[in-house]
Chains A and B, each alone.
Chain A
Amino acid sequence: MRIAGLLAAPMAWLVVVYLGALLALFITAFWTVDDFTGQLVRTFTLKNFQEVFSNPAYLTTVLRTLGIALSVTVVCLVLALPLAMFMARIAKPSWRPLMVALVLTPLWASYLVKVYAWRAMLQPESGVIAWFLKPLGLSGPGYGTVGIIITLTYLWLPYMILPIYAGLTRLPNSMLDASADLGASGGRTFRSIVVPMIFPSVVAGSIFTFSLSLGDYITAQIVGGTTTMLGNVVQTTYVTNLPFAAAVATIPVVIVLLYLMAVRRSGALDNL
């Protein structure tokens, strides 16, 4: 009885407002819009999904978005490893809280402002990167796919650093010592001990970097130039053709759910 009282209001909110809205959207994905009247046609059809996967323009966008999300995840991993390694294994333990705060702080800085910052960084000709590279005879990436990857990496990097850092601090010294005693080189110890031990952390981090990148559209708008992602398709079509936008919006959600299922099956999250 008590529990019903505690749950009533929050569940009413989350189920009615949120889950209800999600379900409605999902159902709408199987409807269509009448071309002449602009009215919803409430009959079940797979037309919207067929359109996405048969139209080369949309298919390219799906693949591009996947490619961007994967690239962001890989770049995040490459950048997160040395910093997490430094925090967990090289810096004095008394520095750790400060280092964690340094990594966490940018997460709370406004998302839009961080993307805007990269607009200033990436600006062709007069941006910070172009200014930095000019003496070397190089030009910056400007606005486009590379710009999107850099910006999304910047946005989600802390989500990769923190789990890897946590994984590395849990790594027992005795294990590394044992490996060295048995004659393994530093590289061998890293490959055979450190990598398997932090793999679950990497997977945990990748869930954030991958799924947050998949659904993004503001970044592409601000630093993408003419490059578009799935989110941009949703954003430009939802007013005139909500069923189609809904169908496109379910694609990243389904990909993320498939990824989560694969992760769960691999058992990578069991000992996290």
Chain B
Amino acid sequence: MSISRGTKIVVSILAAIVLAFIYVPLGVILINSFSTDRSLSWPPSGFTLQWWGKAIDNEGVRSALVTSIGVAIVASLIALVLGVLLALALGRYRFFGREAISMLVVLPIALPGIVTGIALNNVFTSFLGGLTMVTLVIGHATFCIVVVFNNAIARLRRMGGSVQEASADLGASGLTTFRLVTFPLLRSALVAGAILAFGLSFDEIIVTTFTAGPGITTLPIWIYQNLFRPNQAPIVNVVAAALVIFSILPIYIAQRYSNADETAGGLI
């Protein structure tokens, strides 16, 4: 290695500063949720657990949480089915338009959220007669397909085709091969993909604002609505802190079910 000692020290210090830049804001969110202050001010003048209790008892927060979980479950189940079908088709067969399809899957998260948002909003309000819970779920499922697809296709590529061929040589039908060979090998990647899709849906705000029917409040929408109300700051702080904790959990679970590069592949 040709990196001098001096360079190493300087780069290490800079790296530490960048890591601090990444984690200090998350730390501030967690600390603020225990602050006794009623406004968003630093440093906190004291610490208390009372806002956590108040947030848990808050009716708006509770129903928003239930809505978010419900939408995320249904959207990730739809994404799971569509993503797997797509991965099986694109992973197994070579055909005209294959590249175009793999581009199309990524489009909903590659394009700015507001473009996807108003495009869906326009279609839903013109053709489906308005926004409802169903349109919200459709919107979420659309951008969740890609994470399931990426996880499944990465696993299929690593698997190769030989096990399926062996199964077919032994006389198994296509469906039997899928049931006894492909699916068990794919299962953990699918669990990871579904968890990541859940996480993506649970946190989403932009497509949500444009596709949720009136009165439907997910947790991010609840935060957004209460963000600028000064007297709600302590509760918003708690919800934000809880979201940091609960949105980071899924990647640890997902990582246990897949390789690190598959998890990264969910987003990148």
Distance in Å from the Cβ of B44 to the closest Cβ of chain A?
11
Per-position binary interface string of chain B over residues 217-232, scored 1 when its CB falls under 8 Å from any chain A CB and 0 otherwise: 0001001100100000
Per-position binary interface string of chain A over residues 112-138, scored 1 when its CB falls under 8 Å from any chain B CB and 0 otherwise: 111011111101001110110000000
- In the complex, A270 Cα to B40 Cα: how many Å? 48
Contact A186 B3 (CB under 8 A): yes
Our pick among A111, A158, A253 for the contact of B205 (Cβ within 8 Å) is A111
Is A53 interfacial (CB 8 A cutoff)? no
Contact B42 A127 (CB under 8 A): yes
Our pick among B3, B42, B202, B250 for the contact of A128 (Cβ within 8 Å) is B42
| Residues from 117 to 170 in A contacting B, C-beta threshold 8 Å | 117-121, 123, 126-128, 130-131, 154, 157-159, 162-163
Is A57 interfacial (CB 8 A cutoff)? no
State whether A216 and B15 are in contact (beta carbons under 8 Å apart), knowing that A7-B89, A108-B247, A108-B248 are contacts in the complex: no
Distance in Å from the Cβ of A116 to the closest Cβ of chain B?
5
Number of A-B pairs whose CB atoms are under 8 Å? Answer: 247
Contact A249 B40 (CB under 8 A): no
State whether A106 and B26 are in contact (beta carbons under 8 Å apart), knowing that A82-B18, A97-B260 are contacts in the complex: yes
Q: Is the interface of A mostly helix, strand, loop or mixed?
A: helix
Contact B122 A218 (CB under 8 A): no
Is B181 interfacial (CB 8 A cutoff)? no
- In the complex, A111 Cα to B223 Cα: how many Å? 12
Contact A159 B268 (CB under 8 A): yes
What chain B residues lie within 8 Å of A189 (beta carbons)?
Answer: 2
**Which chain B residue has the least Cβ–Cβ distance from A114?**
B25
Contact A25 B118 (CB under 8 A): yes
Our pick among B19, B40, B138, B220 for the contact of A112 (Cβ within 8 Å) is B220
Is B73 interfacial (CB 8 A cutoff)? no
Contact B115 A112 (CB under 8 A): no
Contact A24 B122 (CB under 8 A): yes
Distance in Å from the Cβ of A124 to the closest Cβ of chain B?
11
Distance in Å from the Cβ of B10 to the closest Cβ of chain A?
8
Our pick among A128, A211, A222, A246 for the contact of B227 (Cβ within 8 Å) is A222
- The count of chain B contact residues (Cβ–Cβ below 8 Å) is 85
Is A89 interfacial (CB 8 A cutoff)? yes
Q: Is the interface of B mostly helix, strand, loop or mixed?
A: helix
- The count of chain A contact residues (Cβ–Cβ below 8 Å) is 90
- In the complex, A90 Cα to B14 Cα: how many Å? 12
Contact B26 A162 (CB under 8 A): no
Contact A128 B220 (CB under 8 A): no
- In the complex, A128 Cα to B21 Cα: how many Å? 12
**Which chain B residue has the least Cβ–Cβ distance from A90?**
B8
Q: 9 smallest A-B Cβ distances: which pairs?
A: A215-B112, A86-B15, A82-B14, A126-B41, A117-B25, A6-B89, A180-B2, A21-B119, A25-B119
A residues neighboring B (CB under 8 Å): 2-3, 6-7, 9-11, 13-15, 17-22, 24-25, 28, 79-80, 82-83, 85-87, 89-90, 97, 100-114, 116-121, 123, 126-128, 130-131, 154, 157-159, 162-163, 173, 176-177, 179-180, 186, 189, 208, 211-212, 214-218, 222, 231, 234-235, 238, 242, 245-246, 249-250, 252-253, 256
B residues neighboring A (CB under 8 Å): 1-4, 7-8, 11-12, 14-15, 18-19, 21-26, 28-29, 32, 39-43, 81-83, 85-86, 88-89, 92-93, 95, 101, 104-105, 107-108, 110-116, 118-123, 126, 138, 141-142, 145, 174, 196, 199, 202-206, 220, 223-224, 227, 236, 240, 243-244, 247-248, 250-251, 255, 260, 263-264, 267-268
